[in-house]
Structure 1
Amino acid sequence: MKLAASVLILVTFVAPPAFAEMVGQGANVTDGDTFDLAMPDHMVKIRICGIDAPEGGRPGSREAWAALSALVHGKTVRCIQVGQPPGTVCDHRSRSTNRDRIVAQCFVDGQDIAVELVRNGNACDWQKFSGGHYQSLTGGKACAGKRE
């Protein structure tokens, strides 16, 4: 019994995080801030942290979808889940998952996807979760009156 408890404790403290850094191909883009990341053995839905894009049917939603699609679809994307090493701009502000999606900061060719979306006006900087990071880098707009 003591051995089983010791093994359980060891596994609890030594086991690597479930996701941390993920690398795969950008696949189906759901909207301007959510896409599927296809990895060799499975696919995960990614919600880009710290930004918000117009929801489907709202003004700008098609443009935001197209912008994210151009950035990720068929390309190698590296994502870091919120709260996992080496860290994201949303750490300590955002949950690591939201509605069955992994919340992450993502990059294509070393370029932060959220920076591009805010810079081009396809998304706003959700300051509650980014700490104003994207607005300060790009001069883009902050999200106004965001829901909790």
Structure 2
Amino acid sequence: MTTVVRRFLLPLAVALSAAIGAGALSELPRTLITVLPGELFAETIEGTATASDGDSLRIGNNRVRILGIDAPELAQSCGESDEPTACGRAARDHLARLIDGRVVSCIVEDRDRYDRLVAQCAADGRDLGDAMVEAGMAVDYERYSHGFYAEAEARARAAGVGIWSDVFVDPEDWRARQRQRGRWKRSVARSAAINRTTGGE
């Protein structure tokens, strides 16, 4: 089941609960009754949070990756090379302001390879993913959002806010370049070590 469908189904838990209380369960479509139960038990975590970067946060001991968005990495800069802006730190600071003093609630959907919870999160009822993308502090991570934040990204792009105010490298592409650079550096180091061992230049 896709992320978008899961987001659509979870609010129906409220309707189902109300129907059960009113004795109207038999009036709900049979397919709805069949599909909903597995979705109703999605894990939810809640509490005060701190921003780790522009698309992840901590609630207590839980590390959470916000579902469906991709923000510039902390070390990433944007804009022209002669006058870059620290867009990665700006994204983290914006998320910090969004959650400051507020209760953050996250519906957990998965766990990533870094053992972080992947979740849709809200602060005082405001979808944090939507808020970050609309402010131009993150992009719609279409591979995982299935376009859920595409409209918010279009509004940010049209308004020229955040990273859309200048040139920037997509965060996913930036990470790929960093990995490639790391592999190149390791290759150079290995070659240098071999040269030292063999007496080569």
Q: Same fold (TM over 0.5)?
A: yes
Flag the structure with higher helix content.
Answer: 2
Aligned residue type for 2:132? L
Flag the structure with higher strand content.
Answer: 1
Q: Which residue of 2 aligns with 1:65?
A: 92
Cα gap change, 1:145 to 1:116, in 2 (>3 Å): closer
Provide structure 1 residue ranges, at least 5 long, that are not aligned to the other structure: 1-15, 83-95
Is 1:112 the counterpart of 2:158 in the alignment?
no
Q: Which residue of 1 aligns with 2:57?
A: 35
Provide structure 2 residue ranges, at least 5 long, that are not aligned to the other structure: 1-39, 78-86, 158-168, 177-201
Q: Which residue of 2 aligns with 1:55?
A: 73
Q: Which has the greater radius of gyration?
A: 2
SS in structure 1 opposite 2:122? Answer: strand
Larger RCO (alpha carbons 8 Å, 6+ apart): 1
State percent identity of aligned pairs: 32
Distance of 1:24 and 1:145 partners within structure 2: 28
Q: Which residue of 2 aligns with 1:10?
A: none
Cα gap change, 1:76 to 1:114, in 2 (>3 Å): same
Cα gap change, 1:24 to 1:104, in 2 (>3 Å): same
Distance of 2:172 and 2:142 partners within structure 1: 9
CA distances 1:40-83 after superposition (whole Å, capped 9, x unpaired): xxx2011001001111221210110111100113320010011x
Structure 2 length-normalised TM:
0.51
Q: What RMSD over aligned residues (CA atoms) do the two structures have, in Å? A: 2.5
Flag as ranges the 4+ runs of structure 1 deviating above 6 A.
none
